[in-house]
């Protein structure tokens, strides 16, 4: 039986139809949006940091980013309204700044901890990946996750949106690691929020076993519902009545509102095999 990642859980609990459109039909908009660029930015920063902790001498971030862009363009996707040539240059600049910020302030967010694993894959948890697993100087296990902000207006502290979005990671990533039988047990999760031109903000979440048990129950229940849906796809899926994601209006809003493929709105999407982490 396939396994479910924490981010798949987020999609399912946000809106079952969203989960279906994204993860069963593999639909993506035929436009490359700022949100896509933000994801490419985060992936490129993650690639650079992974290279650093794996001891890879030459990390070509710029060409890595352009390859991500080319890959999307080769699918036939075009630029969304408002994205110009210089937008991409600005994203690259941001990538460079974020990497520099993380390296400059490494002493603050790593605090002398020993890196145990970089981008480890959680096989039993839908192949979810964690940025770094470290052992602190006091011997505690900690997951470190980089949250690179894309917007120039972003705050460098965690907003309530961040807390909502990353709450499941804070509780489930440590459980995922601990369930794999490694000697180091994770008891803390550290989010490192990175914004242009400021020191990163560090947010620590101590893993409370009672809260984790509740998240695990929710995770198990969502997995049960997903497997049930996969066995009985004829049962209608629930909708999120607000149609708003944490990033703004849901990308499928016209598709869902129009009566779906009957209206031809499907032409605005393409089907793509998912590769993103988690």
In the complex, which residues of this chain contact ligand SF4 (CB under 6 A)?
15, 17-18, 21, 239-240, 243, 250, 252-253, 256
Closest by alpha carbon to 122, among 160, 174, 74?
174
Shortest reach from residue 251's CB to ligand SF4, in Å: 7
Please state, in angstroms and rounded to a whole number, the distance separating the CA atoms of residues 219 and 224.
9
Between 20 and 182, name the residue whose CB sits nearer to ligand SF4. Answer: 20
Shortest reach from residue 71's CB to ligand SF4, in Å: 25
Shortest reach from residue 171's CB to ligand SF4, in Å: 24
| Contact (CB, 8 A) for 189 and 204 | yes
Query: Rg for the chain (alpha carbons), in Å?
Result: 19
Please state, in angstroms and rounded to a whole number, the distance separating the CA atoms of residues 207 and 245.
27
Between 135 and 260, name the residue whose CB sits nearer to ligand SF4. Answer: 260
| Contact (CB, 8 A) for 100 and 195 | no
Between 9 and 192, name the residue whose CB sits nearer to ligand SF4. Answer: 9
CB neighbours of residue 13 within 10 Å: 17
**Is 253 in a helix, a strand, or coil?**
helix
The separation between the first and the last C-alpha atoms of the chain, rounded to the nearest angstrom, is 17
Angle at 154 between CA 148 and CA 157, to 5 degrees: 75
Shortest reach from residue 92's CB to ligand SF4, in Å: 31
Please state, in angstroms and rounded to a whole number, the distance separating the CA atoms of residues 218 and 9.
9
Shortest reach from residue 246's CB to ligand SF4, in Å: 12
Between 145 and 251, name the residue whose CB sits nearer to ligand SF4. Answer: 251
Please state, in angstroms and rounded to a whole number, the distance separating the CA atoms of residues 222 and 125.
13
Shortest reach from residue 258's CB to ligand SF4, in Å: 10
Between 52 and 253, name the residue whose CB sits nearer to ligand SF4. Answer: 253
């Amino acid at each position: 039986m396939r396994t479910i990642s924490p981010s798949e859980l987020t999609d399912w609990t946000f809106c079952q139809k969203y989960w279906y459109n994204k993860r069963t039909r593999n639909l993506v908009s035929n436009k490359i949006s700022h949100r896509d660029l933000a994801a490419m930015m985060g992936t490129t920063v993650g690639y650079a940091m992974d290279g650093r902790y794996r001891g890879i001498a030459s990390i070509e971030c710029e060409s890595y980013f352009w390859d991500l862009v080319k890959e999307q363009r080769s699918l036939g996707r075009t630029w969304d309204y408002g994205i110009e040539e210089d937008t991409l240059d600005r994203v690259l600049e941001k990538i460079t700044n974020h990497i520099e910020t993380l390296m400059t302030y490494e002493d603050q967010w790593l605090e002398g901890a020993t890196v145990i694993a970089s981008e480890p894959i959680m096989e039993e948890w839908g192949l979810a990946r964690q940025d770094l697993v470290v052992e602190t100087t006091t011997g505690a296990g900690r997951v470190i996750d980089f949250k690179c902000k894309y917007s120039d207006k972003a705050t460098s502290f965690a907003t309530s949106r961040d807390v909502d979005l990353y709450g499941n990671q804070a509780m489930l990533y440590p459980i995922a690691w601990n369930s794999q039988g490694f000697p180091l047990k994770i008891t803390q999760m550290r989010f490192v929020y990175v914004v242009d031109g400021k020191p990163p903000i560090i947010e620590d979440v101590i893993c409370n076993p009672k809260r984790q048990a509740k998240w695990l129950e929710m995770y198990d229940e969502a997995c049960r519902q997903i497997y049930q849906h996969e066995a009985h796809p004829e049962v209608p899926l629930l909708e999120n009545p607000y149609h708003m994601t944490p990033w703004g209006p849901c990308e499928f809003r016209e598709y869902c509102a129009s009566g779906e493929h009957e209206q031809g709105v499907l032409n605005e999407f393409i089907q793509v095999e998912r590769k993103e982490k988690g």
